[in-house]
Amino acid sequence: MKINELINIATSSPWKLENEIFRFFYYPFVRCQFFLAGVSYGKNWKIYGLPILQITKGSKVIIGNNLQLRSTKQSNPLSPFHPVVISTRSSSAQIKIGNNFSMTGGSIVAEEKIEIGDRVMVGANCLIIDTDFHPLDAKLRVKTPSAGKSKPIKIENDVFIGTQAIILKGSNIKAKSTVGARALVNKKFSKKAILIGNPAKIK
């Protein structure tokens, strides 16, 4: 970042300068964190605070350039409930995220596969989860508590997801769609749409 840009930030939005200072401080720790998790570090990443990476051995996490993750409370006025979580729950799980992806707080959890396109913006405290985690049947929960059903998620290019939305297994959100705040998406949509409600429907 150039000096004149820093001066402009310092005079117009001092809290943004504070965020950049913290980002600079955390940079070596973030690089080490992604290295230890086996996730390649892309170009022009901006990571505010330490995310939580739970990457199962053998699984694949691929993230494009120009990533922005905001995990600290001061990094976004909507203030994340917790750091960004990226988690693969099996050795065959895949998370693939395109270029220019941004997310504040919230979780991306894959048992099977989550595919996110380019220029996708995810509002504060959203959940993108391709698994039920636990079986719906009470007896099965006792025998195999982690054997919940899973199904891939696909989020296409230029999608915006509003704060506290939940994207569940089997969801497919078409390019240039908008998901409203606190909407719950749990199925495939065949066209560009504004999705609102629980369960989400086309507005």
C-beta of residue 110 within 8 angstroms of C-beta of residue 88: yes
CATH number of 119's domain? 2.160.10.10
Q: Residue 144: which pLDDT band, with cuts at 50, 70 and 90? A: confident
C-alpha separations of 100 from 27, 86, 158, 174 in Å? 19, 17, 10, 17
Share of the chain above pLDDT 70, in %: 95
Tokens of 7: 């001066």
Domain count, the chain: 1
Mean per-residue pLDDT for 122-144?
A: 91
For residue 11, pLDDT over 80 is answered with no
Looking at the predicted structure, is the pLDDT value of residue 1 above 70? Answer: no
- The parent domain of residue 163 ranges over 3-202
- Which pTM was predicted? 0.91
The proportion of the chain whose per-residue pLDDT surpasses 90, expressed as a percent, equals 82
The pLDDT score that the predictor gives to residue 91 is: 96
Q: What are phi and psi of 195, to 5 degrees?
A: -110, 125
* Average of per-residue pLDDT across 114-133: 97
pLDDT, tens digit, 9 for 90 and up, residues 168-198? 999 999 999 999 999 999 999 999 999 999 9
Task: Return the closest-CA partner of residue 190 out of 199, 177, 181, 179.
Answer: 177
How would you classify the pairing of strands 107-110 and 113-116? Answer: unpaired
